[in-house]
Amino acid sequence: MDTVARAPYILQQVREDNTKSESRFLANDLFRITSQYGEEIILKRIFDIIGVSDNPWCVEFGAGEQAWNVHSFLLEGWRGVLIERDPDKFKMLSICYKNMPRINLFNLSISFHGATSLNNLFKTTDIPRDFDIISIDIDGNDYHVWNLLTDYRSRVVVIEFNPRIGNDVIFVQAANFEISEGCSLRALIELGKSKG
């Protein structure tokens, strides 16, 4: 049997930063205050540009122990709705906001329909039909819950998507709380467009 001498394989990943310098205006501010990836800094910059409503409200679910994305807004006096299903995390959330009656706390799982849908849950609060921020992080059904929010409208949406799916693909997992595949960024862009 003849053997062929082969050169070793070469495998190399070359990373280049193709970001335009004018697109990096937030880079120096993206340090973690309470949010995981600097979301609250980005939100503050957004509201520097678009302005805050006369009656600022924010919503976050799963809020975790401190409502990471909207915490600094709540400390500045905004009103809020915070939803967390995990009892231990909700206990910490309740301690964090115990002396703030302007914040509505709910220990429950969001549903697509019925009393614990966002439309019906918001009706039990004073939140206006048009409010400032909603942060949706429920590991999978984020698209479906936002899609079904029809009676209320948020000026800014922070929402989780599946970054492993290409930006040119529209993918939405089945509406099932037993699945946590999420959706693609493109699916959320199209949903946002359909909501105006």
> Each residue of 86-112: pLDDT tens digit?
999 999 989 989 989 999 999 999 899
Share above pLDDT 90 across residues of the chain, in percent, rounded to a whole number? 57
The pLDDT of residue 191 is 96
| pLDDT, tens only, 116-135 | 999 999 999 999 999 999 99
Query: CA-CA distance, 196 to 191, in Å (whole number)?
Result: 9
The pLDDT of residue 40 is 79
User: Greater confidence, 100 or 23?
Assistant: 100
Q: Which of 159, 147, 144, 129 is nearest to 57 (CA)?
A: 129
The pTM for the full model equals 0.79
User: Greater confidence, 81 or 13?
Assistant: 81
Query: CA-CA distance, 50 to 47, in Å (whole number)?
Result: 5
| pLDDT, tens only, 162-175 | 999 988 899 999 99
